[in-house]
Structure formats: structure tokens, C-alpha cells
Structure 1
Amino acid sequence: MKIAIGADHAGYRLKDVVVPFIESLGHEVEDYGCDCPDSVDYPDYALPVCTQVIEGKADRGILICGTGIGMSIAANKLPGIRCALTHDMFSAQATREHNDTNVLALGERVIGPGLAQEIIRIWLETPFSAGERHIGRIGKVQALEARGAAQR
């Protein structure tokens, strides 16, 4: 798979740890920054990662900030993105199986590198359980997106 990844100043260290890990699993990684501790705005890094996923240029995206909250909020504003903020292995598996998430958000200040790698591994390896109830629920989420777009 091709994975787009981005982080802000509060997540770049974890990004730099997980990129080689993702590559070691056999995936291609496209890094959209940032690469320094200078203060930046997380939406500026969420947008290019999510755009790659929306346009089909990346199979999935990973976003990292201090808590993962800002990145997940920004990502979920974009139609077609189903981003999950995940800080445990069970949620990483469940969000793929039940929600077919295409973007993962992590918080560098919340989890350590070892747990982050395990969450990423599980999230990348878990397939969507394409049962009728899950597909129906995703369809309802897409209808909410369309309703929101129509109201703008």
C-alpha cells in the first residue's frame, strides 16, 4: 500500500520513528512533513495527506500531532475521509473492521513509539468487514457529508 503521512511540530518526532517502521512492513510512504519543532498549523499538514487519499494517490493516510485531536478534526472535515483517532490496539482493529477508516490520527504526547507502531501495524493489516450493517452505516455517514455540503 501507499501511505501518505503528515505531522505538525508536536508530532514530527513520532512520524520520523514510524516512517521506517511502515516501510519495513513493505509499504511505500509519502511524507508531507513537517520536519522540525517550529510551530506550524496542523490543518496545513492534514490537507495534503487527505487529498492524496481522496484522489486515490495514496491508499491510506496517517496524521500525527500532539494529541491527534486537531488532526482528526481537520481530516474529518474533508468529504470521503473517515479518520479515526486511535490510541489503543483494539480501536485500531475495530475502526478498520467496522468503519473502513482511510486515515489514522495519533497523538505523540499520548502514546509512545512502540504502541504507535503496533497500532499502525494492526490498522494497516486489518481488512474492512464488509458486512451489510457496516456498509449501511458508512452509507449514512456519507449521506451526512452530502447533507452538510448541500447546506453550505
Structure 2
Amino acid sequence: MSIIAFSIAKIYSDSALNDENTFEETEKKFDKINNNDGIFEYKSDGFYLKQNKTREYIKWIEIESVIYFDYHILKNVNSTGIEISTSHKIYKIHNNDERSMGIEKFENELNKNINKNELYDSEVLSDGSSKTPLYIKSKI
């Protein structure tokens, strides 16, 4: 019964929407975003990060933490992205232009390549900004 209801709802909603807003078009856009390597180039034991005319190789085992951030710069201006920390360097990647494409796929690759046993809570700062750890290396 629920399959029939879903099918009818899908047919009805798709016919009421223009070509750009159909379920299939939304799914294609989502797949395109999630499959875009962007500034990352993946290898079996790590990835290249292309940023500011440089290309650096980071091994998965070198990563100490990955933090998602959402900073409020001005009243209506936010900056989002990720911060990758290794023992050598901290890489900040802002998700607000074409130079940062691929963050969505990076998060999927992080989940595949690093054993994440823990979920973390967001830290909300006084200005409403937040930081959410996606991964923190355990100190065993």
C-alpha cells in the first residue's frame, strides 16, 4: 500500500513541478555534487589537496582531526567549510566558491577511509557560530 501511495505522490508532484524541480533532476544535482572531486584527488592511502596554486599530499593516517565550521562573519554573512589538521599543518577550506568544490565527496571519503567510532556534538559559540568535529584521532 505504501509503495502505491509513494508512486502516486511522485507522479503527482513531478507533474506539478517544472523540469528543473522533478525528483530525477534533484537526484541528478545531488549525485553531481556528491561525485565531484573538486579540489581533492583521491589515492588509496590519502589524497592531494589543491589550494592556492599548491598541491599537497595528505595521508589518511596523518589526519588528527577534521572539523566542520559555520562562522558568522557579519549579520547575514556566513562562512562554512572544513578544517583538516595533521601533525604538520592545518588546512582550512571554505565552502563558498568554486575553489572549494568537493567538500561533500571529501566527507564521504573520510567516512570510508577513517574508522570513525564516535559522533560529536557541535560547539555553539556566543555569536551563533558553530564547530562540529567530524573526526578526532584517538590518543591510544
If the TM-score is normalised by the length of the shorter chain, which range does it land in? Answer: under 0.3
Q: Which has the higher helix share?
A: 1
Normalized against structure 1, the TM-score is what? 0.23
Larger radius of gyration: 2
The structure with more strand, counted as a fraction of residues = 2
| TM-score calculated relative to the size of structure 2 | 0.24
